[in-house]
Amino acid sequence: MAWISGGFVVLLCMVAVLAPLLLSPDAPFQISNSVLLAPSAGHWFGTDDLGRDVLLQVIWGTRISLIVGIVSALAAGIIGLVVGAISGYCGGLADAMIMRTTEIFQVMPIFVLAALIVAMAGAGETRIIAVIAGLSWPQTARVVRSEVLRIKGLGYAEAARCLGISEFRILVFEIIPNAVGPVIAVSTLTAAFAILLEAALSFFGLTSSDTISWGSTLSTGQRLLYTAWWLSVFPGTLIFLTALAFNMFGDCVREALDPRSE
């Protein structure tokens, strides 16, 4: 399971990296007269209403989806790690404030907020990444915090304190390395969430029209649902498979870390 899902993500990464090298950047945008062709030998995934090749669009869209997914998961992971570590280790007022903040985030309708921000402030990859990361770090922060709290009370952390090792070194060398597993698990889940969120935003037509992502192709598909099913089936399947791969990978990490599983 871990190999299949990991392999799929690696394959997608390769596609994302190689696409701009092998394709001319205009190719996916190439308008032609062959409008709304069903999948055939010439166009494996068919063409859209402007005669653009869906396969090329899907390949091109891999970049945006993956970049948004991975970068925002990374950013959320880092923010969450720092905030969670501070919250768990320092305790007191800082902890209380951070926890209240994450609680508030938890009850926010994240998609609506993201849609609101993007709609009002304007779309763009970086902005979408910032919004997704900015809204999904609390998850990680909570996980990190509970891990830090748990490990802080364990014998080895206390023994290190009794040896006179500084608090900062204890946090960095004793606690965080042992808290990393759950952080990775939750980060892969964040990546899947980010990919779905990006797809949803572009599906709602909130991303700028000159970038191609899986969600934006899907959005065209929604308009032409009755005539051109291929516009929905292929990009949708890819979003699903990618999110699935990240989720599966996250599950594998979590299972490997769970002492009860063996």
- Which parts of this chain interact with another protein (CB under 8 A)? 100, 103-104, 106-113, 115-117, 119-121, 154-156, 158-167, 174, 177-178, 189, 192, 196, 199-200, 203-206, 218, 221-222, 225-226, 229, 232-233, 236, 239-240, 243-244, 246-248, 251
Inter-residue contact 222 to 199 (CB < 8 Å):
no
Classify 47 as helix, strand or coil: strand
Q: Which is nearer to another protein, 81 or 117 (CB)?
A: 117
Q: Which is nearer to another protein, 30 or 106 (CB)?
A: 106
At position 9, the amino acid (one-letter code) is V
Q: Which is nearer to another protein, 211 or 232 (CB)?
A: 232
Q: Which is nearer to another protein, 25 or 259 (CB)?
A: 259
User: Is residue 122 left, alpha or beta, with left meaning phi > 0 and alpha meaning psi from -120 to 50?
Assistant: left
Q: Give min distance, CB of 247 to another protein, in A.
A: 5
Inter-residue contact 76 to 139 (CB < 8 Å):
yes
Output the six-digit token pair for 30. 């190439």
Running DSSP on this structure, what letter comes out for residue 28? G
Q: Give min distance, CB of 16 to another protein, in A.
A: 19
Who's near 95: CB < 8 A, 6+ residues apart? 87, 88, 145
Q: Give min distance, CB of 200 to another protein, in A.
A: 6
Q: Give min distance, CB of 237 to another protein, in A.
A: 8
